[in-house]
Structure 1
């Protein structure tokens, strides 16, 4: 079995995961920066470290971290005793991401319900809008249950010392 701590294997993982994120719709450079942060031992890196690790320009790093910060996937912190910024993955990143998605679904559901009334609930367009709103409502309920199960699973895992 290959030693997964080697730089080459880590780089392969970063590029593979970044490609998956890009395929799912994330900006390519942001996906690479995110994957590099995820693969770093500390979950944080400076712009210079990201630039060197990914072999990209500081401008490319800047654009990527700006996007990732805007969508709340990372935060910026000052290196102690330095003017350099360090980019840090959020704790419970995926939980927070799905929670924000849940808020988005709530807004979409509200607009769709209003749209169904505006279009006329007895019309085909109104019925489609109403069914889409119902789907988002269902998705939210399922997601809330899933997040609760995740917290329970994680607490049990942590209590077991895994």
Structure 2
């Protein structure tokens, strides 16, 4: 049985075991999708917390892991633009906050990766020749990524509209 920090599920009247099962289950699914295990656990714990923010000590206590494990996970999640670090008011402790638009940020970050891949693929087509079998495969890959990039832009625009319509301004979890 894990111990919940004061700001966790127990204080909110939730079943700490049920919260822990959710965190571990969702984290496992994120790992299956390619996320690092500890980063997935930290992300799921932050996502499930009432404030969307926990200190390193609270995360370590809830997940039963070392501060170093939390630090590495937070560093990864920060690079992925899924969490941010903020100073706890009146304290020297940092709190880690999940973004309310974490999925948008993660997808947008992938958009930058797609652009770099497209540039490299263009060089590949030029290097191999567009009429060679390898050049044709690379050109098709390039066309797919260009298509995907255009669709992601439209999809993110539609999501912003849907989010505003569904959750409005100042809704719970926005940050």
Same fold, TM-score > 0.5, yes or no:
yes
> Could you say which residue in structure 1 is the equivalent of 2:166?
157
Higher helix share: 1
Secondary structure of the residue aligned to 2:84 is strand
Structure 2 unaligned spans of 5+: 1-12
1:105-152, Cα deviation, whole Å (9 max, x unpaired): 111112101110111111011001100000001111111111111111
Runs of 4+ with >2 A deviation: none
Pick 1 or 2: higher relative contact order, CA cutoff 8 A, min separation 6. 2
Structure 1 partner of 2:34: 25
In the superposition, the TM-score normalised over structure 1's length comes to 0.92
CA distance in 1, matches of 2:88, 2:144: 45
Counterpart Cα distance in 2 of 1:158 and 1:61: 31
Q: Does 1:45 align with 2:42?
A: no
Query: Which residues of structure 1 form unaligned runs of 5+?
Result: none
1:81 offset after TM fit, Å?
A: 0.8
Query: What TM-score, normalized by structure 2, do the two folds share?
Result: 0.85
83-92 vs 32-41, greater mean Cα deviation: 83-92
1:114 counterpart residue number: 123
- Residues 76-98 of structure 1, C-alpha deviation per residue, up to 9 Å, x if partnerless? 11111111111111231111111
Q: CA RMSD for the aligned pairs?
A: 1.8
